[in-house]
Amino acid sequence: MNWYFIRDIGLLCYLPPVLQDYEELAVLADVEERTLIQALHDVNRLYAGIFIDTADGEALALLERQWGIAPPEDATLEDRRLAVRARMVSMAALYTKRSLYAALAALCGRDGFSLDISHSKYSVSVLIELKSKNQAEAVRGMLHDMLPANMVYQVDIRYNQHATLGRLTHGEMAAYTHDQLRTGFKVRELSLAKG
């Protein structure tokens, strides 16, 4: 990603008119110009690689080595960026309901997940709306790093719920709102118990 597009810096024009006529100075200005353009290009790549959202493959590979992440072979750049973000968030945050919700919102978006914490069962269930199973693996890794060792976690991708809800009758579904049918864990458990 180039932040500056420099076609011709024109170092020769900064010289006094008397010196611009010397062929040696024109060659020297041309060499310095190429070096300066390459340096600006390298600085722009460095700045682009600092931020996860603009990092290219090489910058992501460096971040993955630093954080100990082994991306799958079929991972896209977006999958790799999410894995790096998930590892950074999981290492930085302590487990509280608020920090877990904030971490999931940072990774999946505010409406991209459903979170159910059962303190009596020591379990955390997360339904996420992601485009790739590699991204679900990144969320699982984040939960593994972030949750206490005595808590069990389950991460599922929220797909179309027709297959799950097809086992229930209309009367059974009438007890729930549309949002509960779409994202509710109790409805999902009821459906799985029936089928």
pLDDT in tens, the chain (195 residues): 444 444 456 666 777 877 777 888 778 877 778 888 888 888 877 777 778 888 888 888 888 888 888 888 888 888 888 888 888 888 777 778 888 888 888 888 888 888 889 889 999 988 888 666 778 888 888 898 888 888 999 888 776 566 667 777 888 888 888 777 766 667 777 777 776
Same-domain status, 63 and 130: yes
Give domain status of residue 40, yes or no: yes
Residue whose token pair is 């011709």? 8
Same-domain status, 66 and 41: no
Same-domain status, 72 and 115: yes
Give domain status of residue 29, yes or no: yes
Residue 162 confidence (pLDDT): 63
Give domain status of residue 98, yes or no: yes
- The range of the structural domain enclosing residue 104 comes to 59-159
Same-domain status, 75 and 41: no
Based on the structure, what is the number of domains in the chain?
Answer: 2
Give domain status of residue 105, yes or no: yes
Same-domain status, 40 and 73: no
Give domain status of residue 136, yes or no: yes
Same-domain status, 86 and 155: yes
Question: 100 to each of 67, 151, 163, 175, how far by Cα in Å?
Answer: 20, 13, 29, 29
